[in-house]
Amino acid sequence: MTRNPNSKTDKIEAQPEVQLSTPPKQGLYDPQFEHDACGLGFVVNMKGTQSHKLVSDALQILVNLDHRGAVGAEANTGDGAGILIQVPHDFFVTEATRLGFKLPAIGQYGVGQLFLPPNPAERAEIKSELAKIIAEEGQTLLGWRDVPVNNSSLGKTAIAAEPFMEQVFIGRNASLKDEAAFERKLYVIRKVAEQKIRYGGKIAGGKYFYVPSLSARTLTYKGMLMSEQVEKYFDDLRNPAVTTALALVHSRFSTNTFPSWDRAHPNRCIAHNGEINTLRGNVNWMKARQSLFTSKIFGDDLKKIIPVINTDGSDSAQFDNCVELLTLAGRELPHAMMMMIPEPWENHESMDAERRAFYEFHSCLMEPWDGPASMAFTDGKFIGACLDRNGLRPSRYYVTHDDVVIMASEAGVLPVEPERVKIKGRLQPGK
């Protein structure tokens, strides 16, 4: 089907069936061997000062990383690009008022960015099912918002598989004592919805259903886009009221994979340049351990999030699934990343005993997710980046005197006056 996904008309033209994600295993092709190499970067104000300039700076980084992304036979159909920002509370308060509902204080609600089917009837059925799940999980559905988009710059292939973009706002139940508990509940809602809607096979249009983000902290705008199309496609990103203190961007190069709307980065916690070569073993071990999972903070919800790893996703998406679980189960984000991508500690003679003990202990819990990888990660509070233990992907950073950090897969992604630069360098292997 093809249509302007957010037009006010429901006129739809029938088109041949399109492939939303990777095709099934066939011939010499097996989706489990998919990898990609890309460009990534972030910009952050270390003092937490929010501004629209950080959004525009991040989008400029994305445009400057265009050569690290890729296009297909159509010059205007990209492999994927996107941006992750903090939830722009003031902007959404204004939008909610315009749409006839009210938002509580920041942290008291979550925002879900959704990919939905273009067909209005199928979309209504999915939204009804999602509303039911939200209620069953004890939270409050506050309202819906169509995400304004402009697909005039997109190629025919991207438009043919284009989902309808919509946001859902979910109020936090007073029984959830802190923001972390609410993030866990939003995670549970998403996992239950994925199983029932996308993979249940009983809801028409469920194959379109995908949740780029569902959080009280972060919001992701992404799609089967070229770097320069991201700002053109999403009207929100040009609005001065959309502010953030951190922004993570990614331009995808599907080296030996198929581009799709859902496989664009950033994922929910990470953006990735490189490959996870040990993926099959990592995923198999995660599956093997699922039956032994226990968690006091998840409680009875734990069984609802199984399987943790969505094997339909790319290597990056599956890595992201694991990071999500580790952080929501109570670990700090840097802790989780050190577990999954440890530095080469075994023969490091000068490493202090405490750090060696950390790596040795966690090696009993999880195998390294190894491969040539530069990984940027965030939970909306922390943001950082690390390299694999061999350091085979580049990552350069600048720290400025006005408390801004710029990190990217190469130098020169943003113009910075020399007098502003406090520190500059590159990430080291395993650091």
Kind plus residue range of the DSSP H or E element containing 190 = helix 179-193
In this structure, are residues 40 and 247 in contact, taking their beta carbons and an 8 Å threshold? no
Distance CA 77, CA 72 (A): 6
- For residue 349, name the pLDDT band (cuts at 50, 70, 90): confident
pLDDT digits (tens, 9 = 90+) for 287-340: 999 989 999 999 999 999 999 999 888 899 999 999 999 999 999 999 999 999
Whether the per-residue pLDDT at 382 is higher than 60: the answer is: yes
pLDDT tens digits along 237-272:
999 999 999 999 999 876 656 788 999 999 999 999
| Longest pairwise C-alpha distance within the chain | 68
Q: Give the strand order in the sheet containing 373-378.
A: 270-274, 373-378, 383-387
Beta-bridged to residue 274, according to DSSP, are: 36, 373
15 pLDDT band (50/70/90 cuts)?
Answer: very low
- By C-alpha distance, which of 342, 355, 340 is closest to 429? 342
Mean pLDDT on 98-122: 98
Using the structure block, give the residue that is written with the tokens 């959080």. 215
Mean per-residue pLDDT, 340-363? 93
Handedness of CA 238, 239, 240, 242 (dihedral sign): negative
Q: What pLDDT was estimated at residue 255?
A: 61
38 flagged as catalytic: yes
Residue 178: alpha-carbon gap to chain centroid = 23
pTM score, two decimals?
0.90
Percentage of the chain with pLDDT > 70?
A: 90
pLDDT at residue 13 tops 70? no
Which of these is catalytic: 38, 269, 322, 386?
Answer: 38
- Give the span between the Cα atoms of 344 and 128, in whole angstroms: 49
Average pLDDT over residues 368-394: 93
